Structure 1
Amino acid sequence: METRYTERLRFFDGQQLHAEDLDELEAVNRELRWLHNRSLHQPGIGAGLAVHGPAGAGHVLVQEGYALDASGHEIVLTGPERLPVPPVAGEETCGPAYFDLTVSYPADEELEEAETREGACAPRGIVRLRERPAFTWVRLKHDVSGTLRPVDPRHRADIQAGMMIILARARIRECVLAADVSLAQRRTSRVADRPRIRCDTSYAEWTWWSVPAGTESVIQGVEAVIDTEAACFAQVPCYSARVAGRRPLTVEYDDDAVVTVFDGPAHVEEPATTSFRCRVPLLSPDYGVGDAGIEAILTAVRAEWAVTWLGIEC
């Protein structure tokens, strides 16, 4: 974190103000704004700055927009800008010349004077500067690996550092565009949205479930509500689940009765942002185990089985 200003300016009645007092007040707010920008955003295009340049044109049109550089400087274009393409015939090999159109934050000495005023006891001074983004056509050449890179190492360093933002790439021959400008090299200042992916293994309070499967049969198994609140999903994700633990289970009940429990594939029911219901059909050949057998099966699966789940929020 780098900022020069850590002091709050205060004023009092009767204080004599000088130009540097008010300049410093503006500088404090500006530096803190830049600190915010570079802390929470990446350099790139925030909005707009669309570039239109069809093949055969001798200029490109840049629409209004907003971008940030790596220092947090706001690059603002308030109206369309018509920029002539570089006046080059092409490469020595008779192919088109490649250029990247870049935009950057202007230095103070490059700004246009918008207003000056006479001082009360001093000569005329500047009171407003008009900020206009600095546009630069960066010449590119193929390196030994065939990759296009800036010819000027300073441009290369500034682009890599995020101080010059690429808006478009152009191929130029005979002082006009040899093809429509390419926008593939642009990057946004907002972090690209990525799917939220979370996974976990949860031991659960299994309960018994059964549903009719015909006139004389039922499907039976165990189910549990799995808590996913810690994943902080904002929307209902796509869940998948499986049972982790020892299988098959051999369960004893009523002293000498034994049942072997085989499980089918787990499936997800009632998905929500904070939970889902996991149901597992049991495939034992005989379910005439009564209440005592069911309790024994539940005790066994609660001790042995966990649910490994994955949630993907797109």
Structure 2
Amino acid sequence: MTAVDRIAFEQGQPLRSADLAALFGPLDLSLADHVRSAHHCQGVLIGLEPALQTTPRRTLSVTPGIAATADGDLLVLTEPHTLVPGDAVVTVVLRAIGTGPRARPWLLGPHTAAEPGTDVVLGRLAPDATTVETTGLRTIALRPGTTQLLTGRLSQATAQLSGTQLCWSATVSLPSDLAATPTVIASLDGPPPLTTISTTIAVQAPDSASFTLLVRHGRPADQNPVLSQVTKATVDIVWTAVVDVPPVAIGPAPLATRTTETMALPDERAETLNVDEPTAPLPSVSRPAFFEHQVLAAADLMELVHAERALRELHHRTLHGWGISRGIEVSGEAGSPSVTVMPGYALDAVGRELLLTRQVKLDVPAVTGDLEGQPDDPESHPQEFRLILRWTEDDEATVHTRDGAGASFGAVRLDNDPTLQWLPKEAVRNGFDLELATVHVRDCTLTASPDPSSRRPLRISPHVAAGVTTPGRTEWTLVKTDGGSVMGLRTEIDTRSGGFTGSPTYLLRLEGRRDTPLPPPEEGDAVLDGTPYVESSATNSLVVVIPLHSGVTASDPDPANPATSVQLNPASLLNDDLPALVGGSLGWNVAWVGVES
């Protein structure tokens, strides 16, 4: 950690270059310390993809992007950059220009090592290679603040089940604001039923809206399976869903809607909106420098302000995401001509801070009903509007001026208040216009209280990462008793992609088919299944064991066919061919979630 002092000024103080440099220095140092110690972040944050072109000449290009060094500094490449590799093995690194944060790619020869604290390795290229090697070289930095983490419980009392008492399923609905399909892990909350020898939980058909839990209990082989229809869950199940929200992509930002009028948008305006995922350009920013006896212009000081703001916005954009952090609630009653907006804080897709410092009373749009309705038409339907909060551009902000030397005067301060605005749904720029509430207006009043369901919260979570091993490429080995009998399977998983700094807590899920034909001369099907557990773990890996207890269970729930009893982990399948079976036709693999405080 680097010690920094607070800066103070007095009237009549001679201003030195060191005083101006000190305005920027504390922010720069504290931001680097924050990235390094709070985010444990090092490597590529977004973009910076190296690619080799062989025609018309052999060149290496790197796309724009952002990275974080081991020292915590942010590096920015704003434009595509092309290099010409030589005839030797070269390492591609991103390195700051001067003191940064502007950066450019460099090629390091076979005898030159990357600087561990200041260089970010992007890949390696051999003289005869046709692609850039990145495996094991290119570090993808984690963005803990942008992970969505949800937990829930499937309760015995409220679950809607189908199947039998030994094998049943239930569907779990997820909140509507998930950014993508999550990795879901489920486990028992408490002991399994006393009459079972094993209980396994499989997650099926996960998407951004729901997933299905398949619960299978095994009983000893000398007991009859319970095939009667299930009416009540015999266990409680807790689940965790993790979604890694991708950073805002690099691209043009949509134009702001400057008018507060509620008329329909022209076609060319609608085409500029990002209705799916937002994109934003990268800022071109350099650390400012000053010298003694320099004649200061207004642009020099504005560059200082711009650099400070750009670095902070890059940090927010890449490491925290965008959304409403706290407050900014909207209230109003049916029949009211206005709404009340409370103070609060939010970040937009560029990383700009939207700080509403006071309570605001805002009139609803002055409309009578839908566009076809007449003012006195009882069949007129209310119009829908979204109340949004957005960044106030410099040319829109309230300007505070002051007299200067002689007869001069000029702007010395711009109000930092964000803009509250009513927009039709199709005019909202995702990521740039933060939705606070949806309202319906008729006769210039609300028809109901504002609906906050379209708000996007800014989630802050611990360091969470998830991964899935590849079906068909997950290597399984046998776990045997002292007498040589097969009792389970073991696999080792590489978790370096999680970027952990210690040994995290892991949650596991076994994926793949469970049903398989019995080997000849036996006939019929059997079930191979077990509950995975962590045998050992380290910072970059963990060893997973699947115990396989033999017994009897029921077939999968199928409304069209009655349930039948099947063998669970029969001895005829627990042999030396088992790793090839589960790794091949059954496609067993492991999904994991690691949580590090």
Do these two structures clear the TM 0.5 threshold for a shared fold by scoring above it?
yes
Match in the other structure for 1:265: 528
Within 5 Å, which residues of 2 pair with 1:214-225? 220-225=485-490
Separation of aligned partners in 1, 2:449 and 2:579 = 66
Say yes or no: does 1:178 pair with 2:463: no
Say yes or no: does 1:126 pair with 2:411: yes
Q: How far apart are 1:181 and its partner, in Å?
A: 0.9
Within 5 Å, which residues of 2 pair with 1:159-238? 159-160=428-429, 162-188=431-457, 196=466, 198-200=468-470, 201-209=473-481, 220-230=485-495, 232=498, 234-238=504-508
Q: Closer, same or farther in 2 for the Cα pair 1:56/1:195, shift >3 Å?
A: farther
Specify which of 15, 23, 37 is matched with residue 302 of structure 2.
Answer: 23
SS at match of 1:33: helix
Q: TM-score, normalised by structure 1?
A: 0.67
Q: How far apart are 1:305 and its partner, in Å?
A: 5.2
Once the two structures are superposed, residues 8-34 of structure 1 have per-residue CA deviations (whole angstroms, 9 ceiling, x without a partner) of 321122323222211111122223434
Separation of aligned partners in 1, 2:363 and 2:479 = 73
Once the two structures are superposed, residues 41-86 of structure 1 have per-residue CA deviations (whole angstroms, 9 ceiling, x without a partner) of 6554343322112222222111222333444433221222111222
Once the two structures are superposed, residues 208-260 of structure 1 have per-residue CA deviations (whole angstroms, 9 ceiling, x without a partner) of 2279xxxxxxx95333432224374954223226799997499xxxxxxxxxx
Q: Closer, same or farther in 2 for the Cα pair 1:266/1:221, shift >3 Å?
A: farther
SS at match of 2:307: helix
Say yes or no: does 1:105 pair with 2:362: no
Say yes or no: does 1:240 pair with 2:510: yes
Residue identity in the other structure for 1:236: Y
Say yes or no: does 1:49 pair with 2:358: no
Residue identity in the other structure for 2:448: A
Match in the other structure for 2:122: none
Separation of aligned partners in 2, 1:72 and 1:275 = 39
Q: How far apart are 1:188 and its partner, in Å?
A: 4.0
Q: Percent identity?
A: 26
Separation of aligned partners in 2, 1:102 and 1:82 = 14
Q: Closer, same or farther in 2 for the Cα pair 1:122/1:21, shift >3 Å?
A: farther
Q: Closer, same or farther in 2 for the Cα pair 1:204/1:136, shift >3 Å?
A: closer
Q: How far apart are 1:136 and its partner, in Å?
A: 1.5
Q: Closer, same or farther in 2 for the Cα pair 1:14/1:102, shift >3 Å?
A: same
Q: How far apart are 1:170 and its partner, in Å?
A: 0.9
Q: Closer, same or farther in 2 for the Cα pair 1:249/1:36, shift >3 Å?
A: farther
Q: How far apart are 1:179 and its partner, in Å?
A: 0.5
Separation of aligned partners in 2, 1:197 and 1:124 = 59
Residue identity in the other structure for 2:545: R
Match in the other structure for 2:43: none
- For the pair shown, the structure with the greater C-alpha radius of gyration is 1
Q: Is the 8 A contact 2:334 2:446 kept in 1?
A: yes
Match in the other structure for 2:546: 278
Q: Is the 8 A contact 2:510 2:591 kept in 1?
A: yes
Once the two structures are superposed, residues 156-193 of structure 1 have per-residue CA deviations (whole angstroms, 9 ceiling, x without a partner) of 2xx24543222211112232211111122223456999
Q: Is the 8 A contact 2:322 2:458 kept in 1?
A: yes
Between the two structures, name the one with larger relative contact order (CA 8 Å, sep ≥ 6).
1
SS at match of 2:395: helix
Residue identity in the other structure for 1:313: V
Match in the other structure for 2:150: none
Specify which of 56, 59, 79 is matched with residue 358 of structure 2.
Answer: 79
Q: Closer, same or farther in 2 for the Cα pair 1:302/1:22, shift >3 Å?
A: same
SS at match of 2:534: coil
Match in the other structure for 2:344: 65
SS at match of 1:56: coil
Q: TM-score, normalised by structure 2?
A: 0.38
Residue identity in the other structure for 1:277: V
Residue identity in the other structure for 1:170: V
Q: Closer, same or farther in 2 for the Cα pair 1:302/1:178, shift >3 Å?
A: closer
Separation of aligned partners in 1, 2:333 and 2:526 = 63
